[in-house]
Amino acid sequence: HAIERDGEDLISTHCCFCGMQCGMNIRVKTETKEVIGVEPRYDFPMNGGRLCPKGVAAYRQAEHGERLLSPLIRKNGELVKASWDEAMELIVSKIQEVQAQYGKDAVGVYSGSSMTNEKCYLMGKFARIGLGTKNIDYNGRYCMSSASFGFNQSVGIDRGSTNPWSDIKSADVLLLAGSNTAECHPLSMPYIWGARDNGAKLIVIDPRQTKTALVADIHLDIRPGTDVALANGLLHVMIEEDLVDYDFINKHTTGFEKLKELVKKYTPEYVSEITGVSAEKIVSAARIFGQSKNGMAMFARGVEQHATGTDAVSTYVNLCLVTGKIGRKGSGFATFTGQGNGQGGREHGQKTDQLPGFRKITDPKAREYIAGVWGVDESEIPGPGLSAFEMLQALGSEIKLLILACSNPIVSSPSVAHVGDYLKSLDFFVAIDMFLSESCELADVVLPSTVWVEDDGTTTNVEGRVLRLRGIDRTPGESRRDWEIICDLAERLGRGKYFKYDKPEDIFNELRVASKGGIADYYGITYEKLDNMQGVFWPCPTEESEGMPRLFEDLKFNFPDGKARILAFEHKGPNEKISEEYPIFLSTGRVVYHYLSGNQTRRIESLLNFCPDPYVEMHPNLAKKYNIGNGEMVKLSSARGSIEVVAKITKIIREDMVFVPYHWGKTLAINHLTNPALEPNSKIPEFKVCAVKIEKKAEI
Ligand code: SF4
Q: What is the pLDDT of residues 363-380, one digit of tens each?
A: 999 999 999 999 999 999
Are residues 377 and 447 both part of a single domain? yes
Residue range of the domain that includes 53: 2-61
- pLDDT at res. 697: 80
pLDDT of 287 over the 80 cut: yes
98 close to ligand 1 (CB < 6 Angstrom): no
The residues, ordered by sequence, that sit 6+ positions from 23 with a Cβ below 8 Å of its Cβ are: 12, 13, 14, 15, 40, 41, 43, 44, 46, 47, 534
Rounded Cα–Cα distance for residues 587 and 691 (Å)? 9
Q: What is the pLDDT of residues 588-633, one digit of tens each?
A: 999 999 999 999 999 999 999 999 999 999 999 999 999 999 999 9
The residues, ordered by sequence, that sit 6+ positions from 400 with a Cβ below 8 Å of its Cβ are: 98, 101, 102, 106, 107, 426, 427, 428
Are residues 23 and 159 both part of a single domain? no
Of 184, 204, 187, the residue nearest 143 (C-alpha): 184
pLDDT of 44 over the 60 cut: yes
- pLDDT at res. 1: 67
187 close to ligand 1 (CB < 6 Angstrom): yes
Cα of 22 from ligand 1 centre, angstroms: 6
Q: What is the pLDDT of residues 499-558, one digit of tens each?
A: 999 999 999 999 999 999 999 999 999 999 999 999 999 999 999 999 999 999 999 999
Residue nearest to atom 4 of ligand 1 (CA): 22
Rounded Cα–Cα distance for residues 6 and 580 (Å)? 67
pLDDT band at 6 (very low <50, low <70, confident <90, very high): confident
CB 187 within 8 A of CB 463: no
- pLDDT at res. 4: 82
pLDDT of 285 over the 70 cut: yes
Residue nearest to atom 8 of ligand 1 (CA): 17
pLDDT of 699 over the 70 cut: no
Are residues 57 and 76 both part of a single domain? no
Are residues 267 and 286 both part of a single domain? yes
Q: Is residue 518 part of a domain?
A: no
Are residues 346 and 306 both part of a single domain? no
Residue nearest to atom 1 of ligand 1 (CA): 55
DSSP-based three-state secondary structure for 459: strand
Are residues 199 and 328 both part of a single domain? yes
Q: Which of 308, 335, 362 is the last residue of a domain?
A: 335
pLDDT of 239 over the 60 cut: yes
- pLDDT at res. 338: 86
Q: Is residue 541 part of a domain?
A: no
Ligand 1 pocket test: pick from 24, 42, 50, 54 the residue with the most ligand atoms within 8 Å of its Cβ. 54
15 close to ligand 1 (CB < 6 Angstrom): yes
Q: Is residue 269 part of a domain?
A: yes
- pLDDT at res. 454: 96
pLDDT of 435 over the 80 cut: yes
Q: Which of 42, 61, 80 is the last residue of a domain?
A: 61
- pLDDT at res. 102: 98
Q: Is residue 636 part of a domain?
A: yes
pLDDT of 700 over the 80 cut: no
Cα of 69 from ligand 1 centre, angstroms: 27
Q: Is residue 579 part of a domain?
A: no
Average pLDDT over residues 131-138: 98
Average pLDDT over residues 215-229: 97
Cα of 135 from ligand 1 centre, angstroms: 32
Are residues 229 and 129 both part of a single domain? no
Average pLDDT over residues 308-326: 98
Residue nearest to atom 6 of ligand 1 (CA): 55
Cα of 208 from ligand 1 centre, angstroms: 23
pLDDT band at 3 (very low <50, low <70, confident <90, very high): confident
- pLDDT at res. 652: 96
Q: Is residue 369 part of a domain?
A: yes
Q: Is residue 550 part of a domain?
A: no
Average pLDDT over the chain, rounded to whole? 96
CATH of the domain at 626: 2.40.40.20
Cα of 243 from ligand 1 centre, angstroms: 37
Rounded Cα–Cα distance for residues 140 and 146 (Å)? 10
200 close to ligand 1 (CB < 6 Angstrom): no
462 close to ligand 1 (CB < 6 Angstrom): no
Are residues 269 and 155 both part of a single domain? yes
pLDDT of 144 over the 90 cut: no
Are residues 170 and 133 both part of a single domain? no
Are residues 84 and 173 both part of a single domain? no
Cα of 592 from ligand 1 centre, angstroms: 10
pLDDT band at 491 (very low <50, low <70, confident <90, very high): very high
- Give the ipTM: 1.00
Atom of ligand 1 nearest to the CA of 52: 3
- pLDDT at res. 202: 98
Q: How many separate domains does the chain show?
A: 4
Percent of the chain with pLDDT over 90: 97
CATH of the domain at 199: 3.40.228.10
Are residues 398 and 429 both part of a single domain? yes
51 close to ligand 1 (CB < 6 Angstrom): yes
pLDDT of 410 over the 90 cut: yes
CATH of the domain at 50: 3.30.200.210
Average pLDDT over residues 268-272: 98
Average pLDDT over residues 657-668: 96
Q: Is residue 83 part of a domain?
A: yes
Are residues 115 and 188 both part of a single domain? no
Identity of residue 507: I
